[in-house]
Amino acid sequence: MSVGEFTSSNIAASMDVDKDEGPGADSKECKELQAQISKQKQLAKEGRRTEAVEALLNLEKQHRLAENVTLTKACCLAVLDVLFEAQQWKDLNEHILLLAKRRSQLKQAVQAFVKQAVSYVDKAPDRETTVELIKTLQAVTEGKMYVEIERARLTRQLARIQEGEGKVAEAADTLQEIAVETFGAMAKTEKIDFILEQVRLCLERKDYVRAQILSRKVSPRAFVEQPGKKGQATGEVGIEGTAIEAPIEGTPTLEQLKLKYYELVTAYHAHQDDYLEMCRCYRAIYETPSIAEDPQKKAAVLRKICWYSVLAAASSDQATLLNTTAADKLLDDLPAYKELCKSFITQEVIWWKVFSEKYAQEIAGEEGVFGGDKGPKVQGELRARVTEHNILVVSKYYSRLKLERLGQLLDLPADETERQLSEMVVKTGLTARIDRPAGVVRFAAPKTPETVLNTWSRSIGKLLEVVDRTCQQIQKESMIHKIPIGAR
């Protein structure tokens, strides 16, 4: 490789200005520093804390100006340890800011004492102290790419505290300050988990527009395990030369994140009453290994898929999903749902009274679909889907019928029949004309330009054939009677 070649590895190497870590832990200089640190810690325990901290800061300055990374980090950590052991949280916050702002401070030292301070957050005695320490560390890490992961984790902790106090809107605003999708060193699972937490808080505060925007940052392809890297923290493809950190303890697995993602996306689509997208989400959940391996969970998800494929408005995508669902072999163990799908595929009229009585038990048992505040509305949508199916069936068998008769087939009054038919003409492109004075409905498929042209061509051909025969007959009569054509 030539010296002037421009690669990401060269960029990373050029940015690492403090690459030399200095003497090792077994060196004489390092052992001497450890002895001095131990001496100052002993002074702090004897009540001379201020004197010990000043001595440690002097040591830190000496090694910082010498650009000795190892010894500078040791001094910074010693300062924080002394203040933490004394439970001097106010002084601890002040010295964190002080160490970060010192002239020519080494980035490795900042990274080290920030990580050390992060471990103190869970050990703070009360909520106020915890929040103050988090905000101090946020101020220190702002704008520093080498501690962006620590900043994201601290922000999430602060949002969790705010949510625990009932401040959901404030927690959502706090968490949205961080855009983890740009973090090259964060593990994929932790990154996805962070974004999904942002989506969840937006849904909690009913900010559905922002929830949709955030959910689009996660692609469904991100949940596919890469070959040979299953279960590894660094399974994702990162920037060349970037060391990807292991996810924080407690981060869900990729499969768990997939289920959480589709649960949140389903909640968004439920608010929009988009049953087709909800069906697609449950199809993705249905294909998840942990669900596929559990017969009870698999059957529960399949029941929801059946209902949402039926509830979705009539379209080519809806028909595809419905036929795919009806072909599932697991439906042999759910005969009622197999019959449900079959009834909407078969070109026969569904009588609503019979249908509602037949599936009353299944509807009552699906609280996740027909329960809650939207239960009556969803049941109304089911009634509308049955009516739409019946109208499509009627349009295939009739080209013209009375509006009253159509109402009898749909089991609806005349005004409701007209309204449902009008909605289908607008939404699904069904071709129908209503003659209100006569009370007649005409179904006629729209003719393509090719069909119109072929019809016109056949009509012209027939007309020319008639004209030709007429001319022959006229000439015959003229010859028989010896009357010249055109004579007066």
Token digits of residue 455: 């019809």
Measured between alpha carbons, how far is 270 from 211 in angstroms, rounded to an integer? 13
- SS3 category, 48: coil
Report the b/e string of 114-148 with b at 16+ CB within 10 A: bebbbebbeebeeeebbbbbbebbbebbeeeeebb
At residue 144, what is the residue type? K
pLDDT in tens, 32-62: 888 888 888 888 888 888 999 999 999 999 9
Domain spans in the chain, listed from the N-terminal domain onward: 17-142, 290-443, 448-488
249-267 residue pLDDT tens: 888 999 999 999 999 999 9
Give per-residue pLDDT as tens, 125-169: 899 999 999 999 999 999 888 899 999 999 999 999 999 999 999
Does residue 448 register a pLDDT over 80? no
Q: Residue 444 — pLDDT band, cuts 50, 70, 90?
A: confident
pLDDT at position 449 = 81
Relative orientation angle of helices 69-85 and 89-101, to the nearest 10 degrees: 160
pLDDT top residue among 427 and 391 = 391
Residue 266 to residue 277: CA distance in whole angstroms: 8
pLDDT band at 446 (very low <50, low <70, confident <90, very high): low
pLDDT in the model for residue 229: 53
The per-residue pLDDT for range 333-386, each reduced to its tens digit, is 999 999 999 999 998 999 988 999 999 999 988 888 898 888 889 999 999 899
CA distance 77 to 57: 11
Helix or strand (DSSP H, E) at 396: helix 375-397
Domain topology for 290-443: 1.25.40
Closest by CA position to 97, among listed 75, 117, 122? 117
CB atoms within 10 A of CB 443: 20
- Where on the phi/psi map is residue 413: left (φ > 0), alpha (ψ -120 to 50), or beta? beta
Is 276 within 8 Å of 321 (Cβ atoms)? yes
Q: What is the pLDDT of residue 270?
A: 92
Is the sign of the CA dihedral 220, 225, 231, 234 positive or negative?
A: negative
The whole-number pLDDT of residue 406 equals 87
Alpha-helical runs (H) found in 312-350: 316-326, 335-345
Query: Residue 470 above 60 pLDDT?
Result: yes
* pLDDT at position 6: 33
pLDDT tens sequence across 195-215: 999 999 999 999 999 999 999
Across the range 453-474, mean pLDDT stands at: 87
- Is residue 163 packed enough to be buried (19+ CB in 10 Å), middle (13-18) or exposed (0-12)? buried
Six-digit token string for 52: 């010990």
